[in-house]
Every structure is written in C-alpha cells, then in structure tokens.
A and B are shown apart, each in its own frame.
Chain A
Amino acid sequence: MNEFFSLMKSELVLTGIIFLLLFIKIGKGVKNETLLPLIQVLLLANFLFGFFLNKQGRLFGDMYYTTSLIVMQKNILNLGVYLISLVCADWLKKTQHLAEFFLLMLSALLGMFFMISSANLLIFYLSLELATIPVAAMANFDLEKKTSAEGAMKMILSSAFSSGILLFGISLIYGTTGSISLPQLGQLLDNSPLQILAFIFFFAAFAFKLSIVPFHLWTADVYEGSPIAVTSFLSVISKGAVAFIFMTMLFRVFQPMAHIWYQLVVVLAIATMVIGNLFALRQQNIKRFLAFSSIAQVGFILVAVSSNDPMGITSVVYFVLVYIFSNLAAFGVAAVITEKTGKENIDDYKGLYKTNPFLSWILALSLFSLAGIPPTAGFFGKLFLITAGSANANYWFIIVVALNLIVSLYYYLRVIRAVFMDKNDNPVEPVTISAPVRLGLLICGAGIVITGMLSWIYDYIYTLK
C-alpha cells in the first residue's frame, strides 16, 4: 500500500488538485482574483513535492512503471505548467471559466504522466487520449472567436485521425506478437513485413502528435487560433511529453527495427527542419511564427533521436527543460502584448525597446536561446542534441543540421532587429506588467541564463536511468 502511494505520487497529487478544483467549482463561486493565486500556489507545491519520496518500481501487473528519469521528466512538465499559470496570468484572470480551464489542463497533464509511465499499449493509448481530448476542448476556450473554434476543430479531427492510425498499428502489432506489454514486445518483434507496416502506422501517429513534417499541417492553424495559454501548453508541455515517450518507444520497444527507423528519422529530421525554417521565414503573426519555429525545433530533437543511445535521451530531456524556459518566455511576452494592446504582428513589435525595455530584453534572451547563441542555455541544448546525433558518424547529416541552424538564426534575429533597431512611429505603448507575469518572465529569463551555466544539470540527468 505504501509502495502504491510513493510510486504513483505525481499522479495522486495531481488528481487531488483536480478534485479540489472541481469542489471549488461546484461550491459557491470564487472570484478569479482569489482563485488564480490559489492555483498558482497549488501548482508550485505540486512541482516542489515532485522532488521528494521518489522510488522506482512497477504497478498493476507491469502496466505502470516509474524510474528516477521518469520522475525527472514529470518534474520538468510540472515546472512548465506552473510557469504557464504565471506568464499567462493576464489572460487567465479575464477568462470566465478559470476553474474549468485548469481542470482540463491538469487532466491533460495527468494523461501525460500516465503516458510517460506506461508499460503497456492499452495504458499508453488511454493516456494519450486523456492527454489530447482535453487540449482540443481548451483550444476552443475563446468561445466568441471564430478562429478559436476553427483551430479546435482542426485539432480534434487530426488528433482523432492520428489515434485511429495509431490503433491500427497497435492491432497489427497485437496480431503478430500476441502481446501489448512493452517490455515483452521488445523481445517479440522479429521484423516481419506486417510488423514493419504496423511500425509505420505507429510512427505516423507519433509524427502527427509531434508535428513532424508530412503531418505538421494542423500545428500552425491550431497555434494561431487558440488562446495563447493553450498555444504555449501545446507547444511546450504536450510536445515534450510526446517526445519523451517517443524516445522510450523507439529505443526500448522498437529496438529490433533500429536499422529501419534510423533512415526514417534522419530523412524526417531534415524535412522537418527545412520546412519549419522556410515557413517561419515568411510569417507575420507572432504566434504562427513561433509555431513554425517549434516545428523546426522538433527537427532538432529528431537529430538526437537518431542517435539510439542513452546520450540521446539525456540530451532530449535537457533540451526540453531549456525549451520550456525559452519558449514560455517568448510566449509570455507575446501574451502580455496581445492581452494589453491586441497586436499580434511582428511589424507591431518594431520599436518595442523604446517603450518596453524589460519585455524586449526577455524576448531577445528567449529568441537568442531558441536560435542557440552561446551564452544562453539554448546553445548547450542544441550542442548536446547535435553531439548525440553525430554518434552514428553520419557527417553529411550533421552538416545539413548546421546549415539549418544558420537559417533559423536569420528569422530569430529578424524579430530582434524589429524590436531593438527598427523605427516605428506608432510603437506599442508602455504596458504595465502584473506581479505574477513579471515573476514568471524572470524565472524563465533566469532559467535561460543559469541552466546553460550549471553543467551539473546535464550530468545529473545523465546519471538517472
């Protein structure tokens, strides 16, 4: 009994918070001004509690397992959700259904926790659905806006379609091996043609969720249409969680097919980076710009996935941590400016430095980190990803990756140039930044600077197995 509680600690605490919010919602109405700080404190407590009472083990007849690396991944996701509740505080305060929003968001997070911990395809499928269906409902949260409904529609249809494809792959795997338990599958797969077909279906479904290139088309529309809190959740938390389980699947379960998926991952990594970069070049809307930049970043994650060794896993976990800080800082600045002035175009950001120096510096820091410029953590994240990717001594691949880094530098610097150097007769007026947003942006900024400097973070993740 005691083991049950300590192994499922993250999930149980999160379930507790979800029920607490539900009771608050059912009871007499609490104003957003009091509810939001309460939620922020709860999420902070949830994040801090993640560092205590950690054990490794299996539960429910080997359907659920946890290791210290998985606990670390859950802590990173917890941190991301806490930061979202801070940097998007302005929008959250104004929304009519604050409690429901967090109910959906935390349910999705719970799904992600179970997904990372799943050791059985049934649990994996159920938790994947728990992690995507609430997000589609969240994407529709700006009920009056037409684009919000359109984005949500695109999201639910494409995610339902991709889970149909995933299920078809799972059914073929079950038919050929007779097992849906992940540790057993690792030994039972023997590369028969039907299993390779099943693997391709499986991979396509993951490509949908991660927005890898031939399946990326829903991403930009959903990102632009949804409220900015949902966009940041989708681009950071969902993507990070799916990347974690994707690596576990490829490295543990589909290890017998490593020579097949290596080619697939290399080709798709290049396609994802090139197309993400090329489309990001021509975007005017800041949310759409960040959407395509996040597609390109997934390409870099795939570079590390191609390594097929423990360093690949470590570098992806580290990169997701850095990515949470940098992307949430960028989305935080965009959220403040959109909320206060309604401006979403990159041209509107011209001359921002004259009127809002604090926001400009945070935005510059986050974009430098996303581009991978040395003093920031993003540089180290990219460095480790590419070092891991070069494990197979496939050097032309690494050269293409490096060329893509240069292209990405151009469009990130274009925004920084607009903010710092371009003149504008009608710049964004000085905006007042509320305390939680300022705290969130400062944590993100500090994270961007410090995570890169402290080398023990990477070493620590590497020691977790």
Chain B
Amino acid sequence: MMEPGLYHILTVSIALFFIGVMGFLTRRNLITMLMSLELILNSVNLNFIAFNKYVWPGKMDGLFFTIFIIAIAAAEAAVAIAIIINLYRSNQSIDVTNAEDLKY
C-alpha cells in the first residue's frame, strides 16, 4: 500500500480546480455555478494543506490561510445567494440565459 504523497494531493487539487473552472464556465444554473466556485476554493485549501504538511512542516501560514478561506467562502456564498434570490423574484428563474438584458 503506497502512502499518498505531495504529488498525489496536488494532482487531486489541480483536477478539482479545473473541474470547478469547467463547471463555472459551462453550467447555466446559478446555484451550480456557486457550487463550482466552492470546488475551486476547496482545491486551493487542499493545496495549502498539502504544501504545509509536506514542504513547509514548520510553518503555520498555510493552515491559517485555509481557515480564513473557508470563512470568506461562506460570506461570499451568503451574499451571492441573496442576490440570486432577488434575481429570482424579478426573473422567475435562476438560469443565466434568462438574465441577459444587459448586452454588448
């Protein structure tokens, strides 16, 4: 049984990052886009933790950063969902293709 090392974790986190980017760019449902953003942020968290554990074991900066990212992501999601609810009130839909009054 092989111990997971830094490269395994980095592979997972990069895959997670690009799955998030892909989801953000191709999905048309606003809630799913928010979920993709969370994937991006979680891949960053994974990166920080992995670097902290394997490369810089004596430092704490990466762990602190992760905690703050989790807190900020919650704040961001709260504001985003409030805006989406307001958009739903006027649009009756949370599909981005229905929110295209502003163009060019």
Contacts and interface: CB of A to CB of B under 8 A. Distances in A.
A147 B101 contact: yes
Contacts of A225: 102
Interface in A146-187: 146-147, 149-154, 156-157, 160-161, 163-165, 167-168, 170-172, 174-175, 178-180
Given A133-B79, A150-B102, A171-B48, A125 B68 contact: yes
A164 B37 contact: yes
Given A146-B91, A175-B47, A122 B83 contact: no
Nearest to A221: B102
Q: How large is the interface on B (under 10, 10 to 19, 20 to 34, 35 or more residues)?
A: 35 or more
A224 B90 CA distance: 17
B48 A153 contact: no
A146 B101 contact: yes
Contacts of A178: 55-56, 59
Contacts of A406: none
A164 B40 contact: yes
A245 interface: no
B32 to A, nearest CB: 12
Contacts of B43: 168
Contacts of A129: 72, 75-76
Contacts of B47: 168, 171-172, 175
B82 A137 contact: yes
Given A171-B44, A179-B61, A150 B101 contact: yes
Contact of B64 (A122, A140, A151): A122
28 contacts: A121-B65, A122-B68, A125-B68, A133-B79, A136-B80, A137-B82, A144-B90, A146-B90, A147-B101, A149-B90, A150-B87, A150-B100, A152-B87, A153-B83, A157-B30, A157-B33, A157-B34, A160-B80, A164-B20, A164-B41, A164-B44, A167-B44, A172-B47, A174-B48, A174-B65, A175-B47, A175-B50, A175-B51
A160 B76 contact: yes
Contacts, number: 121
Interface in A397-411: none
Nearest to A156: B80
Nearest to B55: A175
A172 B48 CA distance: 8
Nearest to A128: B72
Interface in B56-104: 56, 59, 61-62, 64-65, 68-69, 72, 75-76, 79-80, 82-84, 86-87, 89-91, 96, 99-103
Contact of B40 (A136, A161, A170): A161
Given A168-B40, A174-B48, A178-B55, 5 more contacts: A125-B68, A129-B76, A150-B102, A153-B99, A171-B48
Contacts of A45: none
Interface of B: 17, 20, 24, 30, 33-34, 37, 40-41, 43-44, 47-48, 50-51, 55-56, 59, 61-62, 64-65, 68-69, 72, 75-76, 79-80, 82-84, 86-87, 89-91, 96, 99-103
A101 to B, nearest CB: 15
B67 to A, nearest CB: 10
Contacts of B102: 147, 150-151, 154, 220-221, 224-225
Nearest to B42: A164
A149 B37 CA distance: 20
B41 A167 contact: yes
Contact of B86 (A147, A149, A170, A224): A149
A323 B89 CA distance: 37
B51 A171 contact: yes
A167 B62 CA distance: 12
Contact of B37 (A133, A152, A161): A161
A53 interface: no
Contacts of A146: 90-91, 101
A454 interface: no
A165 B86 CA distance: 27
Nearest to A133: B79
A126 B68 contact: yes
Contacts of A157: 24, 30, 33-34, 37, 80
Contacts of B34: 157, 160
Which of A151, A171, A172, A224: most chain B Cβ within 10 A?
A: A171
B44 A174 contact: no
A79 B48 CA distance: 39
A129 B101 CA distance: 27
Contacts of B82: 137, 140
Contacts of B61: 122, 174, 179-180
